[in-house]
Structure 1
Amino acid sequence: MDTGRRLCRHASLCSLGAAAIFFIYLNWNWVSSFPPVPPSSSSSASSQWEDPGPYHVAYPRNYRYIMDDTPTCNTETPFLVLMVHTATGAAAARDAIRETWGSEKLVLGRSVETVFVLGLPGGPDAERQQEELRQENRQHRDLVQSDFLDSYRNLTIKTMMMLEWLAARCGAASYAMKIDSDMLLHVRNAVRLLLDPGTATDAYLTGLVWWHSPVLRNPFNKFYMPRSAVAEPEYPPYPLGMAYVMSLDLPAKILSISPRVKPIFIEDAYLGMCMRLLGLPPTDPPEATMFLVDPEHPLSACSLSKVIAVTTTSAPQMRSYWERSRQPGARC
Structure 2
Amino acid sequence: MRIPNLWVNVFIIFVLPNLSNGQQLSTKPLKLTDGQNGVKSIPYRATDQCMPKMDAKRGKTTYGLSFRLHSKGGHCDDGLLICYPGMLNRHADSLGFKVKGLFQIDNKKDNKVNQFCSFKMQKEGISAGQTHWRGIKVYTMPNGTENRQTMLEASVASRPYKLGTNVGQFSIHLGGNGTDLLTMITVNDGKAFIDNQANLQKQFLEQFWNGAFLREHTGLWMLGLDLLPSMKQENVKLFIARNCNCTMETWFTQPTDSSDPKEPELPTAGSNNCSIEFESTSEATTNKNDVSDECFGEKHFEIRFKNIFKKCWMKFANACPNQTELIMLTMSRRNGFENRMGIRQTWMNDSVPGEVIRFLIADAEDGEANDVQQKLEEEQAKHGDLVFLHGFVDIYAHLHLKVYGGFKWQQSFCANANWVLKVDDDALVHLRRLAYWTGKKFRPIVAQNPLVFFGKLYHKYLPIRNPKSKWYASKEMYPKDMYPDFMQGTVYLTTPATINAILLHSGQIDAFYLEDVVYTGILAELANVTLSDQKKHFKWRFDHFDEKNGECEDGVPTPFSIWGAEKLNVFEHQYGRMKSIECKK
Q: Do residues 89 (structure 1) and 335 (structure 2) align?
A: yes
For 2:324 and 2:579, the matched residues in 1 are separated by: 22
Gaps of 5+ in 2: 1-141, 151-241, 249-266, 270-304, 552-556
Helix, strand or coil for the counterpart of 2:461? coil
Q: What does 1:43-192 align with in structure 2 at a 5 Å threshold?
A: 47=267, 59-65=308-314, 67-71=315-319, 73=320, 75-106=321-352, 111-147=354-390, 148-192=392-436
**1:146–1:161 distance in 2 versus 1, CA, 3 Å:** same
Alignment deviations for residues 61-101 of structure 1 (CA, whole Å, 9 cap, x no partner): 42111x31124x1x333111111111110101101111111
Q: Which has the larger radius of gyration?
A: 2
Q: Is the 8 A contact 1:77 1:173 kept in 2?
A: yes
Q: Is the 8 A contact 1:57 1:157 kept in 2?
A: no
**1:123–1:330 distance in 2 versus 1, CA, 3 Å:** farther
Q: Is the 8 A contact 1:77 1:170 kept in 2?
A: no
Alignment TM-score, normalising by the size of structure 2:
0.45
For 1:161 and 1:114, the matched residues in 2 are separated by: 15
- The aligned residue for residue 541 of structure 2 is 294
**1:311–1:57 distance in 2 versus 1, CA, 3 Å:** farther
- The aligned residue for residue 250 of structure 1 is 498
Helix, strand or coil for the counterpart of 1:249? helix
Q: What does 1:236-247 align with in structure 2 at a 5 Å threshold?
A: 236-247=484-495
Q: Is the 8 A contact 1:171 1:249 kept in 2?
A: no
Pairwise CA distance, 1:112: 0.9
For 2:513 and 2:368, the matched residues in 1 are separated by: 26
Q: Is the 8 A contact 1:301 1:324 kept in 2?
A: no
**1:187–1:302 distance in 2 versus 1, CA, 3 Å:** farther
Match of 1:229 among 477, 484, 489: 477
Q: Is the 8 A contact 2:498 2:529 kept in 1?
A: no
Pairwise CA distance, 1:297: 5.6
Which protein has greater RCO, CA pairs closer than 8 Å, 6+ apart? 1
Helix, strand or coil for the counterpart of 1:307? coil
Which amino acid counterpart does residue 419 of structure 2 have in structure 1?
A: Y
Alignment deviations for residues 159-217 of structure 1 (CA, whole Å, 9 cap, x no partner): 11111111111221111101111111111121122212533151121111111110222
**1:57–1:86 distance in 2 versus 1, CA, 3 Å:** farther
Pairwise CA distance, 1:57: 10
Pairwise CA distance, 1:281: 3.4
Alignment deviations for residues 109-137 of structure 1 (CA, whole Å, 9 cap, x no partner): x7211111121222423553112111100
From the two aligned structures, give the one with the greater helix fraction: 1
Which amino acid counterpart does residue 486 of structure 2 have in structure 1?
A: Y
Which amino acid counterpart does residue 453 of structure 2 have in structure 1?
A: L
Which amino acid counterpart does residue 376 of structure 2 have in structure 1?
A: L
For the aligned residue pairs, the C-alpha RMSD in angstroms reads: 2.9
From the two aligned structures, give the one with the greater strand fraction: 2
For 1:173 and 1:149, the matched residues in 2 are separated by: 28
**1:220–1:322 distance in 2 versus 1, CA, 3 Å:** closer
- The aligned residue for residue 213 of structure 1 is 461
**1:199–1:224 distance in 2 versus 1, CA, 3 Å:** same
Pairwise CA distance, 1:303: 3.4
Q: Is the 8 A contact 2:433 2:560 kept in 1?
A: yes
- The aligned residue for residue 280 of structure 1 is 529
- The aligned residue for residue 563 of structure 2 is 311
**1:330–1:57 distance in 2 versus 1, CA, 3 Å:** farther
Helix, strand or coil for the counterpart of 1:103? helix
- The aligned residue for residue 167 of structure 2 is none
Helix, strand or coil for the counterpart of 1:317? helix
Q: Is the 8 A contact 1:212 1:237 kept in 2?
A: yes
For 1:104 and 1:48, the matched residues in 2 are separated by: 47
- The aligned residue for residue 8 of structure 1 is none
For 2:334 and 2:467, the matched residues in 1 are separated by: 29
Q: Is the 8 A contact 2:548 2:582 kept in 1?
A: yes
Helix, strand or coil for the counterpart of 2:454? strand
For 2:561 and 2:339, the matched residues in 1 are separated by: 16
Which amino acid counterpart does residue 309 of structure 1 have in structure 2?
A: S
Q: Is the 8 A contact 1:206 1:282 kept in 2?
A: yes
For 1:194 and 1:306, the matched residues in 2 are separated by: 11
**1:48–1:125 distance in 2 versus 1, CA, 3 Å:** closer
Alignment TM-score, normalising by the size of structure 1:
0.77
Helix, strand or coil for the counterpart of 1:198? helix
Deviates more, 1:132-141 or 1:299-308: 299-308
Q: Is the 8 A contact 1:301 1:325 kept in 2?
A: no
For 1:57 and 1:93, the matched residues in 2 are separated by: 34
Gaps of 5+ in 1: 1-29, 50-55
For 1:220 and 1:58, the matched residues in 2 are separated by: 24
**1:96–1:90 distance in 2 versus 1, CA, 3 Å:** same
For 1:299 and 1:81, the matched residues in 2 are separated by: 29
Pairwise CA distance, 1:44: 8.4
Q: Is the 8 A contact 1:211 1:236 kept in 2?
A: yes
Which amino acid counterpart does residue 203 of structure 1 have in structure 2?
A: L
Alignment deviations for residues 220-249 of structure 1 (CA, whole Å, 9 cap, x no partner): 433232222222111111111110001111
Q: Is the 8 A contact 2:549 2:582 kept in 1?
A: yes
